[in-house]
């Protein structure tokens, strides 16, 4: 069996025109997602994560944006689909949990209505039925007084409650893929843990595949089956989560791990910042996009390998750096040795 993956993205490009010039927000993105799998996508702000996730729903970041490449979902090419076909996928089979829970809800529509609206768009059910389902969903995502939340306007709920309501909305039609775009960015740390727990729980109970997007690698460390690291519109490293965390390959991943404030056991440690800033996506550096900030740059970096060409192991762990694993081990600086991998048991 092991037929097609549920979602298969290949060579996805997203670009749009700005005053400064053509921005290539997503550059040749490829990834696959199996049923029930949790994929973490990590990258700093502006790395194209959010734009990439929206294009999985064939949603362009603006009127002038161009989407090209391929997004195949369950055998259907979404980038070539009609609006009608997309309407049957969006919200029903692939759902999005947006980033900013305050502005992602319509301020002048009651929260309950915004959920039933989605249910009634995709399923033929009565108003009362939809209401009952929405109330059950609100309860399930841990909202203490579902009836009040149902009748409330978004501003009457706290940030955590709004995010829960958005999750309830996203799972309302039993999607096969749940894309959570920084679902905890606006939340307190305590609430963050609850929301992540909720997402994991939903993924497990409904068998939903989850794409969890975040800038905080610690957020996905405990949740994701696989991890993709995004930098300047490209995936620079991808693999099983524990492999990427315990044996990171790309110098950017080293830096990312070094900038997490705690190790996996929650012990605080010294922070190391990655020098410099992410490149402009209008005039990105030729070859490897991380080159200008990388302390290991050499001649070969004026071109960049494709992910598939640089497999590190048999588990599909790959990265887009020309250095061989041995060279990396030799060259990696002490300050780049932070890891979030599972604690090594002392011999």
Q: Which spans of this chain sit near other proteins (rule: CB under 8 A)?
A: 54, 57, 59, 63, 83, 86-92, 95-96, 98-100, 103-109, 117-118, 121-122, 153, 155-156, 166, 169
Which residue lies nearer to other proteins by CB, 76 or 218? 76
| Helix, strand and coil percent figures for the chain, each rounded to 5 | 35, 20, 45
How near is the Cβ of 120 to other proteins at its closest, in Å? Answer: 10
How near is the Cβ of 264 to other proteins at its closest, in Å? Answer: 33
- Beta strand 234-240 pairing with 38-42: unpaired
Instruction: Calculate the CA 251 to chain-centre distance.
Output: 20
Q: Which residues of 53-91 are buried (b: 16+ CB within 10 A; e: fewer)?
A: bbbbbbeebeeebebebebbbbeeebbebeeeebeebbb
Conformation bin of residue 145: beta by default, left when phi > 0, alpha when psi is -120 to 50: beta
Which residue lies nearer to other proteins by CB, 39 or 178? 178
Which residue lies nearer to other proteins by CB, 83 or 326? 83
How near is the Cβ of 248 to other proteins at its closest, in Å? Answer: 32
How near is the Cβ of 80 to other proteins at its closest, in Å? Answer: 18
Which residue lies nearer to other proteins by CB, 54 or 317? 54
How near is the Cβ of 292 to other proteins at its closest, in Å? Answer: 32
How near is the Cβ of 178 to other proteins at its closest, in Å? Answer: 11
Which residue lies nearer to other proteins by CB, 6 or 58? 58
Which residue lies nearer to other proteins by CB, 110 or 264? 110
Residue 84: closest CA among 122, 116, 118? 122
CA gap 115, 169 in Å, rounded: 5
259 CB-near residues (< 8 Å, 6+ apart): 271, 272, 273, 274
Q: What value, to the nearest 5°, has the Cα angle with vertex 150 and ends 146 and 155?
A: 110
């Amino acid at each position: 069996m092991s037929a097609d993956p549920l979602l298969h993205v290949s060579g996805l490009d997203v670009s749009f025109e700005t005053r400064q010039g053509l921005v290539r927000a997503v550059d040749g993105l490829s990834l696959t997602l199996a049923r029930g799998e949790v994929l973490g996508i990590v990258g700093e702000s502006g790395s194209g994560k959010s734009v990439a996730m929206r294009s999985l729903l064939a949603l362009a970041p603006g009127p002038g944006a161009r989407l090209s490449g391929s997004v195949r979902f369950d055998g259907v090419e979404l980038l070539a689909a009609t609006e009608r076909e997309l309407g049957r996928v969006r919200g029903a089979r692939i759902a999005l949990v947006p980033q900013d829970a305050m502005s992602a809800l319509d301020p002048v529509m009651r929260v309950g209505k915004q959920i039933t609206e989605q249910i009634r768009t995709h399923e033929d059910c009565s108003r009362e039925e939809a209401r009952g389902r929405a109330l059950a969903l609100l309860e399930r995502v841990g909202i203490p007084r579902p009836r009040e939340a149902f009748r409330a306007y978004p501003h009457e709920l706290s940030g955590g409650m709004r995010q829960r309501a958005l999750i309830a909305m996203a799972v309302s039609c039993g999607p096969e893929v749940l894309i959570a775009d920084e679902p905890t960015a606006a939340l307190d740390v305590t609430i963050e843990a609850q929301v992540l727990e909720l997402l994991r729980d939903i993924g497990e109970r409904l068998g939903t595949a989850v794409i969890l997007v975040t800038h905080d690698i610690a957020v996905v460390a405990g949740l994701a089956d696989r991890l993709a690291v995004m930098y300047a519109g490209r995936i620079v490293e991808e693999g099983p989560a524990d492999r990427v965390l315990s044996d990171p390959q790309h110098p950017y991943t080293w830096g990312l791990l070094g900038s997490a404030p705690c190790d996996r056991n929650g012990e605080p440690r010294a922070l190391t910042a990655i020098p410099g800033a992410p490149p402009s996506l209008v005039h990105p550096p030729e070859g490897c996009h991380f080159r200008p900030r990388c302390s290991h740059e050499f001649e070969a970096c004026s071109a960049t390998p494709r992910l598939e060409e640089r497999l590190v192991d048999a588990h599909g762990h790959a990265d887009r750096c020309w250095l061989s694993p041995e060279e990396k081990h030799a060259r990696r600086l002490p300050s780049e040795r932070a890891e979030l991998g599972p604690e090594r048991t002392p011999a």
